Structure 1
Amino acid sequence: MAARNPLSEEELSCPVCCEIFRDPVVLSCSHSVCKTCLQKFWETKGSRECPVCRRRSLKEYLPRNLVLKNLSACVWCVKGQKIWPRPRIEKLKRILDSLEKTRKVLEEAKQDYDQTAAHIKTQAQHTERQIKEEFEKLHPFLRDEEAARIAALKEEEEQKNQMMRRKIEEMNGEISSLSDTIRNIEKEMEAEDVLFLQNFKSTEKQAQLTPKDPEKTSGALINVVKHLSNLKFRVWENMQEILQYRCKKDTETVLK
């Protein structure tokens, strides 16, 4: 006698909840449904019809499908017939592919953050050199103004660096969490089939918790124009005020 093909998971699954039959009953149309699922379906529809073919059931008492119930009691092996979890493994593989792509996007975003942080440092160093060169051309009493502008630049640099450090830390956390999820899923896929099917729902739920897309770094760079535009003109105005004040003081001293 030729061996039967292994029962597929679909053949042992309820057409309503799509899970392995728990307490299947047989309708007059010969379709089988979980008893609890059928009761909920009838309550929702308001009529006693089959969820599969929509034929009305005339029986008050629905007999249990003991064959399906017995076959569904063991998800590993019943009477030499195996229930393979391949459809769920394939589903998790597709989810893993998606997660891998997401991790790649996050890693590329982190690389962009790292480059932006390095560029911020380079910008700050270059801008500081430009500021110092401009102030070297002015009189010594403008050193205070120079220090104030350097402090403003440093403050903005620190603010921008804090923002990038926060983004990098968040990205590291997202990547670490995603890597843990991937490792957990891969571990579950290597487990015994019974344990795999028992934990599938929680594994699938964990796999679908994908992180949000990384934020763009717009506005993260130092506003160089703010620090350098019209620098000499603004400093010259400040110098004129200082000179006028000193001239007034000198005039008052002479008149006394």
Structure 2
Amino acid sequence: MATAKITDDDFLCPICLDFFKEPVILECEHNFCKSCIDTAWDFEDIILCPVCRHELPVKKYTVNRLLSKIVETAEMTQQCEEAGKPRQEQKKECLLQSHECLEHKEPLKVFCQEDGSPICLVCTMSSKHAGHTFQPLEESVSMFQEKLKIAEAILKHRMNNLNEYQRKQERLISGIQKKAQSFEQHIKSEFATLHQFLQNKEQQLIQQLKDETTTITGEMKENLQKIEKKNETIQRQISAIQSKLQQEDPLLFLTGIKDEIERTMKEYEKEVRHRIYVGVVSKNLSPGVYKGPLQYSVWKEMLSVVNPGLSPLTLDPNTAYPNLVICKDLTSVKYSDIRQKSRNDHKDFFFYFCLGSEGFTSGKHYWELEVEVNEQSCFVWTVGVTKTSSQRKVLSKRNPEDGYWVLTLSNISNCIIMELTPNFLMYDEKRQKVGVYLDYEEGQVSFYNADNMSHLYTFTDTFTERLYPFFQYHPFGIKPDTAPLKLSHLKL
């Protein structure tokens, strides 16, 4: 016959889950320890079998001598195996045996999954735990250890993400601060030759830059603090879990373990469900405000002191749409119902376009465009730069991806030209004057209100081709021979 093992359920009492001691058999043929069945019946008004719940007329059982001998053999086998057990396992068993149920004074041997606490075997038969699910303590410890390890892995993953956000945020803050320093140096160099007259303006712009930098970096640092705070919170949670995992006392380990895990996971699920993420705040300083044509901008405020003048920017008749009439000096253009003589077809634009005569492959350039319209006219016009290879024959969208860095202005509230360019401004004045600034090496195209040099919009890109000044009329409601466009150009 095979040697009996401790894992054989036939040798274990269903009440104490240990080897039978003085085994007895009921009429329903279920076996129990004599002391276990006596104790169980002492707490029951009706005499029942704890296993099959068969009702018995009287407290009656028979000593099972055969089972007693078999169990003795199994116990001897257990003792031999116990001798080879690691000290850690023996220590755990001693800890298990050292705790008793406060109500029944019985060893705590099972774990109630519904109540989340260890209980004795007598508790399993009480009405308080009716319908509950029970599990041996060792299995419960292993189960919750695995759950804690999963929770720890999730928290570590989140902490790694937060660490990466922290590093990225720190790099962005450093980049903003370096860029602010670069802009400040540029501002100072631009004002070098006019320092006596421009000190107030210089300090004003520097302060504005510092305020904007403080605002942007303030938001970033505040977000960085949130990242660090969240990181610390998770680190504390991980430390608590690691401390819990090192707890050797099963009762202390399991005390509150279910609520602790549920609380940790619910907090994580809540953040995922509501998309409460700690990310990176990414803002930037505007080069158009601090690194545009500053000398010319201040010149507008100091006409009595500085007067550099503007050199003319001419238009290329070979690129003009047939309904656009260019004046003899090539510095202004107007719309006409009469189509002009055919020009070089391979250069013609499809829809009321015209280019400047001079293209740029380097340097800093600034020019102004002025349009005049009467009270009865509606105007829509687009200005900026375009590259040599941009599409000209079809009505394509005017955006950087297609080689257009342009701004559209209009006094028509429902202007359909918005389909052509997303950079759209409404103007109420009858007379419009816009400044265009190109810094080829820096990849910057900025637009300004030429009357007060207030910044309108800035593109930043990388230029690899020759760029030409670009103009477009959209003659919605414009009368013939009206809306002249005048040009002037300053090379800095």
**TM-based fold match above 0.5:** yes
Q: Does the CA-based 8 Å contact 2:180-2:209 persist in structure 1?
A: yes
Match of 1:171 among 227, 233, 244: 227
The equivalent residue for 1:113 is 169
Aligned pairs for 1:242-253 (under 5 A) are none
**C-alpha deviation, 1:205, in angstroms:** 3.4
**C-alpha deviation, 1:226, in angstroms:** 2.1
Residue type matched to 1:3 in 2?
I
1:94 aligns with 2:150: yes
Residue type matched to 1:228 in 2?
K
Match of 2:245 among 186, 189, 202: 189
Cα distance change, pair 25–159 in 1 and its aligned pair in 2 (3 A): same
1:205 aligns with 2:262: yes
RMSD: 3.3
More helix by share: 1
The 2-side partners of 1:103 and 1:5 are apart by 46
Q: Any gaps of 5 or more consecutive residues in structure 2? A: 10-16, 18-109, 308-492
1:229 aligns with 2:319: no
Deviations 1:123-167 (A, max 9, x none): 111110000000013352121111111110011111122212211
Q: Does the CA-based 8 Å contact 2:220-2:282 persist in structure 1?
A: no
Q: Does the CA-based 8 Å contact 2:173-2:220 persist in structure 1?
A: yes
Residue type matched to 1:215 in 2?
G
Q: Any gaps of 5 or more consecutive residues in structure 1? A: 27-31, 39-67, 77-81, 245-256
Residue type matched to 2:259 in 1?
S
The equivalent residue for 1:215 is 279
Match of 2:189 among 118, 124, 133: 133
The equivalent residue for 2:67 is none
The 2-side partners of 1:123 and 1:189 are apart by 48
3-state secondary structure, aligned to 2:302 = helix
The equivalent residue for 2:7 is 4
Larger Rg: 2
**C-alpha deviation, 1:238, in angstroms:** 0.7
Structure with more relative contact order (C-alpha pairs < 8 Å, separation 6 or more): 1
Q: Does the CA-based 8 Å contact 2:116-2:256 persist in structure 1?
A: no
The 1-side partners of 2:285 and 2:277 are apart by 24
**C-alpha deviation, 1:100, in angstroms:** 0.4
**C-alpha deviation, 1:84, in angstroms:** 4.2
Q: Does the CA-based 8 Å contact 1:185-1:203 persist in structure 2?
A: no
Q: Does the CA-based 8 Å contact 2:117-2:254 persist in structure 1?
A: no
**C-alpha deviation, 1:216, in angstroms:** 2.9
**C-alpha deviation, 1:217, in angstroms:** 2.1
The 1-side partners of 2:294 and 2:230 are apart by 42
Q: Does the CA-based 8 Å contact 1:185-1:207 persist in structure 2?
A: no
The 2-side partners of 1:164 and 1:110 are apart by 10
The 2-side partners of 1:181 and 1:146 are apart by 51
Q: Does the CA-based 8 Å contact 1:124-1:153 persist in structure 2?
A: yes
Q: Does the CA-based 8 Å contact 2:223-2:280 persist in structure 1?
A: no
**C-alpha deviation, 1:231, in angstroms:** 2.2
The 2-side partners of 1:5 and 1:180 are apart by 44
Cα distance change, pair 99–139 in 1 and its aligned pair in 2 (3 A): closer
The equivalent residue for 2:324 is none
Aligned pairs for 1:2-81 (under 5 A) are 2-4=5-7, 17=114, 34-35=129-130, 76=137
The 1-side partners of 2:139 and 2:195 are apart by 88
**C-alpha deviation, 1:13, in angstroms:** 5.2
Q: Does the CA-based 8 Å contact 1:21-1:34 persist in structure 2?
A: no
The 2-side partners of 1:152 and 1:12 are apart by 67
3-state secondary structure, aligned to 1:85 = helix
More strand by share: 2
Cα distance change, pair 5–83 in 1 and its aligned pair in 2 (3 A): farther
**C-alpha deviation, 1:95, in angstroms:** 1.2
Cα distance change, pair 138–203 in 1 and its aligned pair in 2 (3 A): same
The 2-side partners of 1:92 and 1:5 are apart by 30
**C-alpha deviation, 1:121, in angstroms:** 1.4
Cα distance change, pair 155–189 in 1 and its aligned pair in 2 (3 A): same
The 2-side partners of 1:110 and 1:207 are apart by 23
TM-score using structure 1 length: 0.64
Residue type matched to 1:225 in 2?
G
Cα distance change, pair 161–175 in 1 and its aligned pair in 2 (3 A): same
3-state secondary structure, aligned to 1:225 = helix
Q: Does the CA-based 8 Å contact 2:219-2:281 persist in structure 1?
A: no
Residue type matched to 1:214 in 2?
V
Deviations 1:30-89 (A, max 9, x none): xx9943x68xxxxxxxxxxxxxxxxxxxxxxxxxxxxx9xx87xx65xxxxx44411111
**C-alpha deviation, 1:194, in angstroms:** 1.5
Q: Does the CA-based 8 Å contact 2:205-2:290 persist in structure 1?
A: yes
The 2-side partners of 1:241 and 1:159 are apart by 36
Residue type matched to 1:216 in 2?
V
Percentage of identical aligned residues: 20
Residue type matched to 2:187 in 1?
I
The 1-side partners of 2:292 and 2:212 are apart by 16
**C-alpha deviation, 1:241, in angstroms:** 6.5
